[in-house]
């Protein structure tokens, strides 16, 4: 349920008309999930999740945002959003010219403890806060922190070609499918060579790397909910947990338990790691 004294923060229809460079809203839901169909708004939007998973989809990709991360959506970009499980998030609406060097593309951002506190404070401001007072100065600091927020690679690029879209849909529906590249090519009516070439051309990834990226993202979604590594590994088609952990460590730089523990520690203590964890997929056969 959203706070009764504010409009639905994810619709953004009202927020586009608020004459302030930045507007922050706190939202929570105790339902099994929520969903907003594809829409767009003039202002850019930041969705920062404290609890639950946020999914954001645009034409070029899918972003899955675990707790203590945020997704940045540039103004005017059509997108759909939904929450998974009990969610609590902060929504930030930003005028396109509010600050130089704001992200120009949809991105997953790592939120520092300072930025998190600024978001929480800004959510308590009235809509028409004083631009030349303490509230306006805090907003300026918030924008500085937003510009400096590290980008994390927690998204799955989506191809435009109809046949590749079909491949993506099949993999998303059954990520544990171990079919070979040649088998997938037959299923979608392409040669293996054409499939490889078109994937690299449209999303900049090989088939193997794209599938591993999908597994990392889906596993984070489920592990954050408390599912065991063993269960997730088997459901994603790995023979055992060890093989899955090896893949995850190569992708993220640390095993799943350490990755999630670091996020929980940041949430509890407000400490910030020396470097934001990022997924760096290795393009190996």
pLDDT at 284 over 70: no
Residue-wise pLDDT tens digits, 40-78: 899 999 999 887 778 788 877 888 777 778 899 999 999
What value does the mean pLDDT take over residues 100-116? 88
Q: According to the model, what pLDDT value does residue 271 have?
A: 41
pLDDT higher than 80, residue 35: no
Give 105's DSSP letter: S
Residues 145-199 pLDDT 10s: 999 998 876 778 888 899 998 898 888 878 899 899 999 999 999 999 999 999 9
d(CA 129, CA 27): 20
Please give the Cα distance from 17 to 4 (Å, whole number). Answer: 19
What domains does the chain contain, in order, with CATH numbers?
A: 15-152 (2.60.120.280), 158-269 (1.10.10.60)
Q: Please, which residues bridge with residue 61 across strands? A: 58, 157
Give Cβ neighbours of residue 93 (< 8 Å, ≥ 6 apart).
12, 15, 16, 18, 22, 23, 24, 25, 41, 43, 44, 45
Which of 7-21, 113-127, 264-278 shows the lowest per-residue confidence on average (mean pLDDT)? Answer: 264-278
Q: Which of 242, 245, 238, 177 is nearest to 207 (CA)?
A: 177
Rounded-to-integer distance, Cα 106 and Cα 104, Å:
7
pTM, whole model, 2 decimals? 0.67
Give 209-250 pLDDT, tens digit per residue: 888 888 988 888 788 778 899 999 999 999 999 999 999 988
Spatial separation of the C-alpha atoms in residues 152 and 169, rounded to whole Å: 24
pLDDT at site 103: 87
**Taking the CA atoms of the chain, what radius of gyration do you get in angstroms?**
20
Segment (H or E) for 50: strand 44-58
């Amino acid at each position: 349920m959203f706070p009764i004294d504010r409009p639905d923060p994810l619709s953004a229809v009202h927020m586009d008309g608020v004459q302030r460079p930045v507007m922050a809203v706190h939202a929570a839901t105790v339902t099994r999930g929520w969903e907003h169909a594809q829409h767009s708004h003039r202002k850019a939007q930041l969705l920062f999740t404290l609890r639950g998973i946020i999914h954001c989809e645009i034409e070029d990709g899918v972003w899955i945002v675990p707790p203590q991360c945020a997704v940045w959506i540039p103004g005017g970009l059509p997108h759909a959003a939904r929450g998974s499980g009990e969610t609590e998030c902060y929504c930030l609406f930003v005028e396109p010219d509010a600050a130089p060097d704001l992200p120009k593309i949809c991105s997953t951002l790592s939120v520092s403890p300072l930025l998190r506190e600024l978001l929480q404070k800004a959510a308590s401001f009235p809509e028409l806060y004083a631009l030349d007072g303490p509230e306006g100065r805090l907003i300026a600091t918030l924008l500085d922190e937003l510009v400096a927020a590290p980008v994390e690679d927690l998204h799955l690029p989506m191809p435009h070609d109809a046949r590749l879209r079909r491949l993506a849909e099949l993999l998303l529906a059954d990520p544990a499918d171990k079919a070979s590249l040649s088998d997938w090519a037959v299923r979608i009516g392409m040669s293996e060579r054409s499939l490889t070439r078109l994937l690299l051309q449209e999303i900049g990834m090989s088939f193997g790397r794209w599938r591993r990226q999908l597994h990392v993202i889906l596993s984070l979604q489920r592990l954050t909910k408390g599912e065991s590594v063993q269960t997730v590994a088997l459901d994603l088609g790995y023979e055992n947990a060890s093989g899955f952990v090896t893949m995850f460590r190569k992708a993220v730089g640390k095993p799943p338990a350490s990755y999630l523990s670091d996020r929980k520690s940041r949430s509890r203590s407000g400490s910030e790691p020396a470097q934001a964890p990022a997924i760096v997929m290795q393009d190996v056969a």
